[in-house]
C-alpha cells in the first residue's frame, strides 16, 4: 500500500502561510504526489500534484524534496475557509488513491 505520514492536526493564523508536511519514504520513481482536502463532510477536492519539480497553481504550492521522500503543501495566505482535512497521497494512477487520515488544518481568526 502507498502510505504517507502526516501530522494529525495543525493550526494556522488567518492571513499567514500554512505549511503542511508529508513523509512518503516508500514512493517509487514513477509515482506522483497528490494533495486533496476535505471540508467538513463534503467530497474531497483536488489541490495539486507533482512528480519531481515544485509546482504552483492558484490554490497552493507544492515543494518536493530532491530525494522525493517528503513534500510540503503551502497555502500562502490561509483563510477561514481553508479549514479542512488535508490528504497527502502518492500513486502511479490517480484512480487508485489510498487516503490516510490526513492533517486537520484549523485556521484561526
Partner 1 sequence: NAGVTQTPKFQVLKTGQSMTLQCAQDMNHEYMSWYRQDPGMGLRLIHYSVGAGITDQGEVPNGYNVSRSTTEDFPLRLLSAAPSQTSVYFCASSYRTSGGISSYNEQFFGPGTRLTVL
Contact positions toward partner 1, by CB under 8 A?
30, 32, 36, 41-46, 49, 51, 87, 92-102
Instruction: Give the residue with the Cβ less far from partner 1, 17 or 51.
Output: 51
CB hemisphere CA count around 64 (13 angstroms): 24
Q: Provide the minimum distance between the beta carbon of 77 and partner 1 in the complex, in angstroms, as a whole number.
A: 22
Q: Least distance (Å) from partner 1 to the CB of residue 69?
A: 19
Residue 37 burial by Cβ neighbours in a 10 Å radius (0-12, 13-18, 19+): buried
Q: What is the rounded distance in angstroms from the CA atom of residue 107 to the CA atom of residue 97?
A: 27
Which of these, 82, 89, 88, lies nearest to 108 by C-alpha position? Answer: 82
14 versus 38: smaller Cβ distance to partner 1: 38
CB of 55 to partner 1, least distance (A): 12
Identify which of residues 81 and 96 has a Cβ nearer to partner 1 in the complex: 96
Amino acid at each position: 500500500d502507498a502510505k504517507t505520514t502526516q501530522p494529525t492536526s495543525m493550526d494556522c493564523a488567518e492571513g499567514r502561510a500554512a505549511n503542511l508536511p508529508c513523509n512518503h519514504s516508500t514512493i517509487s520513481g514513477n509515482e506522483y504526489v497528490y494533495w486533496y482536502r476535505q471540508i467538513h463532510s463534503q467530497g474531497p477536492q483536488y489541490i495539486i500534484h507533482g512528480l519531481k519539480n515544485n509546482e504552483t497553481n492558484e490554490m497552493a504550492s507544492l515543494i518536493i524534496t530532491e530525494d522525493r521522500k517528503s513534500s510540503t503543501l503551502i497555502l500562502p495566505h490561509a483563510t477561514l475557509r481553508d479549514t479542512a482535512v488535508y490528504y497527502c497521497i502518492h500513486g502511479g494512477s490517480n484512480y487508485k488513491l489510498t487516503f490516510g487520515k490526513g492533517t486537520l488544518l484549523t485556521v484561526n481568526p
